[in-house]
Chain A
Amino acid sequence: MSYLRISSMTLAVAAAISLIGCGQKEEPKPAPAPAPVAAPVPPPKPEVTVRLGHVAPLTGPQAHLGKDNENGARMAIDELNAQGLEIGGAKVKFDLVAEDDQADPKQGTIVAQKLVDAKVNGVIGHLNSGTTIPASKIYFDAGIPQISGSATNPKYTQQGFTTAFRVMANDVQQGKVLGEFAAHQMGGKKIAIIDDRTAYGQGLADEFEKAILAAGGKIATREFTNDKATDFAAILTKIKSKKVDVVFYGGMDAQGGPMAKQMKSLGVKAKFLTGDGGCTPEFIKLAGEASEGQFCSLPGVPLDQMPGGKAFGDAFTAKYGQIQLYAPYVYDAVMVMVDSMKRANSVESAKFLPEIGKSDYQGVSAKVQFDDKGDLKGGAISMYQVKDGKWEYRETIGGSPAEMVKEAVKDAAAAVKDAAVATGEAAKDAVKGAAMEGAKAAADVAKGAADATKSAAEATKAAVEKK
């Protein structure tokens, strides 16, 4: 977790301040809207059409995920259109330009160029890191903001492109949590890792391995398959001979499901753990009864724990059928982009782009805030386990506000060993910082500080529990 190191003391304090600042901004939501409207009055247009591009593979082996993403975006667009938003004094109609990149990097750039030509105001996607990375350059050159709901390769946001954002934890964030979970909660001493040699699977598995080693676990064997395989008997037999406690798979549900099933029929006794790619109802369908008791992780917080999450889930299921995987994140990506437009009071890419970085949006998958690279801040990861043929929520590890205050706590009071004392200190610091900022509404500050204290306390509690 490199961003941990980056955050120096000042950064941490700044984070605490911004947290409180965000808290302020969040409360009077309609308030900022009218103010700027009065100032830069754009020519009064009756209606503007905002075109949002969406790219995902709609043909080829990952088409089911691609369509799911598209449905997520479509759902958001439909809802927004039904709301009849007004931005910059004009009624806004959103239009989704959905494209297929076939998960092929070359097609990805062609489609990106097509969207740039079509003068889309923003882009949601792509699905795969392999297409997202080369396409991001084209969007950056054209100044078009891009939010991906599913590209998890850390490189995507490390290229220095100010237009690149993602509303999903990257591989590093998730792999670390998964590793710690396997080592501590699942009691894994000897662990086998399998990955599918895709950018996603390998990236996640590498981070998982690092976390396991850091936690003092032992990697019994590292095996590999590919994203089109169906037969895992050979590698599972080898894993069986190593007598491991946990098998981790970095890859998608289409392989994870059959893999869990074959583990059972080969008599591998280990627990099965997988990342977001396997955290789908499809996994249970494909693994059958072998899925019982297996674990997975999903960035963000479960839908039914999020405000509006359950409503989203129900509406989506009614409209498009079961959520495959990334639809909620893509939905959030659209919402975050439109939220930025609202705050900037403009639908022009150049105008609302700076606002995306400042987002503080309560999405259905997570509370969306970005760090300076465009990655999701904090990145809560939730763990699930199959019970009675259903993924059941177990716990959330990390989490944006708590995580941030925890860092603030750590850095601000590096000398102070006692975490409880540090919490108080940090909270005080936070209050001070907020006051210095020239608090606009005292009540809000107090509320924000209280929130911060509460989160810090929670963080401390979590930290204590872990130890």
Chain B
Amino acid sequence: MDIFIQQIINGLILGSIYALVALGYTMVYGIMGLINFAHGEVVMIGAMVALSVIKLLENSGLPVFLLLLFGLAAAALVCMAVGFTIERIAYRPLRRAPRLAPLITAIGVSIVLQNLAMLIWGRNYHAFPPILPTTSMTIFGATITSLQVAIVLIAALMMIGLMILINRTRLGRAMRATSENPSIAQLMGVNINQIISFTFVIGSALAAVAGLMVSANYSIAHYYMGFMLGLKAFTAAVLGGIGNIAGAMLGGILLGLIESLGAGYIGDLTGGFLGSHYQDIFAFFVLIGVLVFRPSGLIGEKVSERA
């Protein structure tokens, strides 16, 4: 039983990480209807910057909390700048272009960011400085570290914060208006360029948080880490219903649980015929199954027939 609880906890942690990244995807999608394929790379940049800053200050004698905060602040600033620039250069000129054009520029941006990171941080893997306590606590026979608790909490907090931002503030109202119908929003006095820039900046700040969390939890950062993470998070966002904040969270957690339970039990369930190497297949089958019955994700808004 404790093994089962452990697998659930594993899934929750993994899922929270997916959810953190998926929030960024879904925000941009919600406003612009655009898959920001470069989001995974922004997470990578966040991880790299945070790690470099923390490494730099590691021996300064600052408390761990401040170290993390400085790392996060630097990462957030850089990511916000990167996100802002990406939108300005690669997406804004293409708002009236065919739907797939920004997808190609996103892939281009992704390649550029990856190789820039390789030039800056080199080809080697970077280890996260061992500043975090490694003690773990035991709940019902399952172990979890304090950092992992923090990850789950932060992901939840981020989601709640975003929802408040979108549903309760003036800015959020403008965002919703832009998402609903940009031209009418503009007529109502919403500066949609500003709103879209702002969306990217917030999404990128979230990416910085996710980057720090990922690199701290797995104590590893590498210029290629964004691709896989972005892909998983994108899957999670679609599973939940892309464009929907709660959906991203739900999709992320669900994907994490599916992967974790899939890897843990698929072998025993199939009598050893399938093993943990089919974990991703398992996840994709669930995704396809969900989308066949709910074509716009678990809690996504119904896409109008006129696509």
Direct contact of A and B (CB under 8 A): yes
Please list the residues of chain A having a beta carbon within 8 angstroms of any beta carbon in chain B. Answer: 58-61, 63-64, 66-67, 197, 221-226, 228-231, 233-235, 237-238, 240-241, 253-254, 257-258, 261-262, 264-267, 282, 285-286, 288-289, 324
Docked Cα-Cα span, A58 to B10, in Å, equals 34
Q: Taking A230-B214, A233-B13 as contacts, is the C-beta distance between A64 and B123 under 8 angstroms?
A: yes
Task: Indicate whether B260 reaches chain A with its CB closer than 8 angstroms.
Answer: yes
Interface centre among B6, B123, B219 (most CB of A within 10 A): B123
Q: Which residues does chain A contribute within 8 Å of B107, judged by CB atoms? A: none
Task: Indicate whether B276 reaches chain A with its CB closer than 8 angstroms.
Answer: yes
Q: Which residues does chain A contribute within 8 Å of B116, judged by CB atoms? A: none
Interface membership of chain B positions 1-31, coded 1 if the CB is closer than 8 angstroms to chain A and 0 otherwise: 0010011001101100100000000000000
Q: Which residue of A lies closest to B227 (CB)?
A: A228
Docked Cα-Cα span, A228 to B280, in Å, equals 13
Q: Which residues does chain A contribute within 8 Å of B264, judged by CB atoms? A: 234-235, 237-238
For this complex, into which size category does the number of interface residues on chain B fall?
35 or more
Interface centre among A197, A221, A222, A233 (most CB of B within 10 A): A233
Q: Taking A221-B267, A235-B263, A286-B220 as contacts, is the C-beta distance between A266 and B277 under 8 angstroms?
A: no
Q: Are A230 and B3 in contact (CB under 8 A)?
A: no
Q: Are B143 and A285 in contact (CB under 8 A)?
A: no
Q: Are A258 and B219 in contact (CB under 8 A)?
A: yes
Q: Which residues does chain A contribute within 8 Å of B11, judged by CB atoms? A: 234
Q: Are B145 and A265 in contact (CB under 8 A)?
A: yes
Docked Cα-Cα span, A230 to B126, in Å, equals 13
Smallest distance from the beta carbon of A429 to chain B beta carbons, Å? 50
Q: Which residues does chain B contribute within 8 Å of A66, judged by CB atoms? A: 123
Interchain CB contact (< 8 A) of B3 among A63, A231, A238, A253: A238
Q: Which residues does chain B contribute within 8 Å of A241, judged by CB atoms? A: 3
Smallest distance from the beta carbon of B161 to chain A beta carbons, Å? 25
Q: Taking A254-B125, A285-B127 as contacts, is the C-beta distance between A235 and B276 under 8 angstroms?
A: yes
Q: Are A230 and B225 in contact (CB under 8 A)?
A: yes
Task: Indicate whether B134 reaches chain A with its CB closer than 8 angstroms.
Answer: yes
Smallest distance from the beta carbon of A159 to chain B beta carbons, Å? 27
Q: Are B224 and A60 in contact (CB under 8 A)?
A: yes
Docked Cα-Cα span, A197 to B115, in Å, equals 26
Q: Which residue of A lies closest to B256 (CB)?
A: A231
Task: Indicate whether B222 reaches chain A with its CB closer than 8 angstroms.
Answer: yes
Q: Are A282 and B125 in contact (CB under 8 A)?
A: yes
Interchain CB contact (< 8 A) of A228 among B3, B10, B228: B228
Contacts A229-B228, A234-B279 supplied; 9 other A-B pairs, CB < 8 Å: A59-B118, A230-B218, A235-B276, A238-B3, A238-B263, A257-B127, A266-B143, A286-B127, A324-B124
Q: Which of B238-285 contact A (CB under 8 A)?
A: 259-265, 267, 275-277, 279-280
Q: Are B222 and A254 in contact (CB under 8 A)?
A: yes
Docked Cα-Cα span, A253 to B220, in Å, equals 11
Q: Which residue of A lies closest to B277 (CB)?
A: A224
Provide a sorted-by-A list of 8 A–B residue pairs whose CB atoms are within 8 angstroms.
A60-B224, A224-B279, A228-B228, A233-B260, A234-B276, A238-B264, A288-B130, A289-B130
Q: Which residue of B lies closest to A284 (CB)?
A: B127
Smallest distance from the beta carbon of B43 to chain A beta carbons, Å? 12
Q: Are A225 and B276 in contact (CB under 8 A)?
A: yes
Q: Which residues does chain B contribute within 8 Å of A64, judged by CB atoms? A: 122-125
Docked Cα-Cα span, A63 to B3, in Å, equals 37
Smallest distance from the beta carbon of B189 to chain A beta carbons, Å? 46
Q: Which residues does chain B contribute within 8 Å of A229, judged by CB atoms? A: 228
Q: Are A59 and B218 in contact (CB under 8 A)?
A: no
Task: Indicate whether B186 reaches chain A with its CB closer than 8 angstroms.
Answer: no
Interchain CB contact (< 8 A) of A257 among B14, B220, B263, B277: B220
Q: Are B145 and A231 in contact (CB under 8 A)?
A: no
Closest 5 CB pairs of A and B: A224-B277, A234-B263, A233-B10, A64-B123, A63-B123
Docked Cα-Cα span, A257 to B128, in Å, equals 12
Q: Are B143 and A267 in contact (CB under 8 A)?
A: yes
Docked Cα-Cα span, A197 to B136, in Å, equals 30
Q: Which residue of B lies closest to A65 (CB)?
A: B123
Q: Which residues does chain B contribute within 8 Å of A235, judged by CB atoms? A: 263-264, 276
Q: Which residues does chain A contribute within 8 Å of B134, judged by CB atoms? A: 264-265, 288-289
Q: Which residues does chain B contribute within 8 Å of A289, judged by CB atoms? A: 130, 134
Interchain CB contact (< 8 A) of B7 among A222, A228, A234, A324: A234
Q: Which residues does chain A contribute within 8 Å of B227, judged by CB atoms? A: 228
Smallest distance from the beta carbon of B213 to chain A beta carbons, Å? 12
Q: Are B219 and A63 in contact (CB under 8 A)?
A: no
Q: Which residue of A lies closest to B7 (CB)?
A: A237
Docked Cα-Cα span, A262 to B13, in Å, equals 13
Smallest distance from the beta carbon of A82 to chain B beta carbons, Å? 27
Q: Are A234 and B260 in contact (CB under 8 A)?
A: yes
Q: Are A282 and B124 in contact (CB under 8 A)?
A: yes
Q: Are B224 and A197 in contact (CB under 8 A)?
A: no
Smallest distance from the beta carbon of A4 to chain B beta carbons, Å? 31
Docked Cα-Cα span, A233 to B148, in Å, equals 12
Q: Which residues does chain A contribute within 8 Å of B127, judged by CB atoms? A: 257, 285-286, 288
Docked Cα-Cα span, A211 to B294, in Å, equals 49
Q: Taking A265-B134, A324-B124 as contacts, is the C-beta distance between A237 and B224 under 8 angstroms?
A: no
Q: Are A223 and B275 in contact (CB under 8 A)?
A: yes
Q: Which residues does chain B contribute within 8 Å of A61, judged by CB atoms? A: 222, 224
Smallest distance from the beta carbon of A229 to chain B beta carbons, Å? 8
Q: Which residues does chain B contribute within 8 Å of A267, judged by CB atoms? A: 136, 143
Q: Taking A61-B222, A241-B3 as contacts, is the C-beta distance between A286 and B125 under 8 angstroms?
A: yes
